[in-house]
Structure formats: C-alpha cells, structure tokens
Amino acid sequence: MEEEIKAILQQVLLRILEKDGILGLYAGYSATLLRNLPAGILSYSSFEYLKGFVLRSTGKGNLDPIESVCCGAFAGAISASLTTPLDVVKTRFMTQVQAQGANKITEMARQILMEEGWKGLTRGVGPRVLHSACFSAIGYFAFETARMAILNQYIEQRKEALIDEAVQNQ
C-alpha cells in the first residue's frame, strides 16, 4: 500500500513538472499569501480586541484559561468567516489545471462569481469557521499560557536579582 502511494505521488510530481515546470509546484502561492496575511491580521487583532474587552469587563490583569480559549475561538471564527472568499479563490487556483481556467487571482474571483454567484465565494464557510475557531482557541490558549509563564519567570528572576543586589549593597 505504501509503495503504491509513493508511486502515485511520484507520477503526480512528474506530471506537474512536465506540464508546468518547477513553477507548477507553487501554483496558488500568491493566492495563499493573499488569504493568509489578512487572515492572520484579522485573527490577531480580533483576539487582542476581545482580550481587552474581557479584561476591562472583569477588571483583571490577565485572562483565565477559559477566557483565553473563548477569545481565541471567536477571533478564529471572525477571521475565517471574513476571509473565506479568499480561501475559495486560493483553493480553486491551486487545484485548477494550469493550461485552462483563470491565471490571475482577480480572474479566478470573477470566474467564480459569474459561474456560481456570491454563494460560490462562500462555499465551505461553516467547516472553515469551525476548524479555525478550534485551531485558534488552542493556539491562543497556548500562546497566552506560555506568555504568562515566561513573564512570571522573568519577574521572579528580576526580584531575586534585586534582592541579591540589595544584600550586596548593605
């Protein structure tokens, strides 16, 4: 079974290289950047906004773990829902045969709109939002937990250094 998969992958690789050259391996890369950059910006800024809102509402200095998970999930959902049209264009761009179809991102978006309407640009929004919400919840929880652990460790080391300095100056 594993050998069959290897053989199929080699055939696919060779077909791409024969048909489109080395650039065929990077089909859709610009569309991927076009999706990932706004998605990252939206996700991070949404998380920071939601985090600030929760901290102001609770009067605390840091998020509790469940708050971090919820803010992360909402941030991921917001980002995914707003960038789904870019994801659809990216996916179509990467899976099309290079010789046919659109060769520019704007042409691909226009083609989808003409053939499928606005519904075509939102295809898969539900699963994408669910996936991104779960992924972001875990990611931002891990980030906030690591950030707090590093910050607390730094504060402890700084306190010890100040105490040592004070003792030496006496």
Is 96 part of a structural domain of the chain? yes
Is 12 part of a structural domain of the chain? no
Q: How many CB atoms lie within 10 A of CB 60?
A: 11
Residue 136 sits at φ, ψ, to 5 deg, of: -70, -35
Query: CB within 8 A of 1, min separation 6: which ones?
Result: none
Asked if 79 and 136 count as a contact pair (C-beta separation under 8 A), the reply is: yes
Cα dihedral sign, 120-126-127-133: positive
Is 105 part of a structural domain of the chain? yes
What are the tokens at 153? 């460790």
Is 106 part of a structural domain of the chain? yes
- pLDDT per residue over 6-62, tens digit each? 888 888 888 888 887 888 777 767 777 888 899 999 999 999 999 999 999 999 999
Give this prediction's pTM: 0.76
Phi-psi region of 62 (alpha: psi -120 to 50; beta: other; left: phi over 0): beta
Is 73 part of a structural domain of the chain? yes
- pLDDT per residue over 120-166, tens digit each? 999 999 999 999 999 999 999 999 999 999 999 999 999 988 888 88
Q: What one-character DSSP code corresponds to residue 24?
A: G
> How many domains does the chain divide into?
1
Is 112 part of a structural domain of the chain? yes
Which band of pLDDT confidence, cut at 50, 70 and 90, is reported for residue 102? low
Is 15 part of a structural domain of the chain? no
- What range defines the domain where residue 51 resides? 27-168
Is 20 part of a structural domain of the chain? no
Spatial distance between the Cα atoms of 125 and 1, rounded to a whole number of angstroms: 34
Q: What CATH number does residue 54 fall under?
A: 1.50.40.10
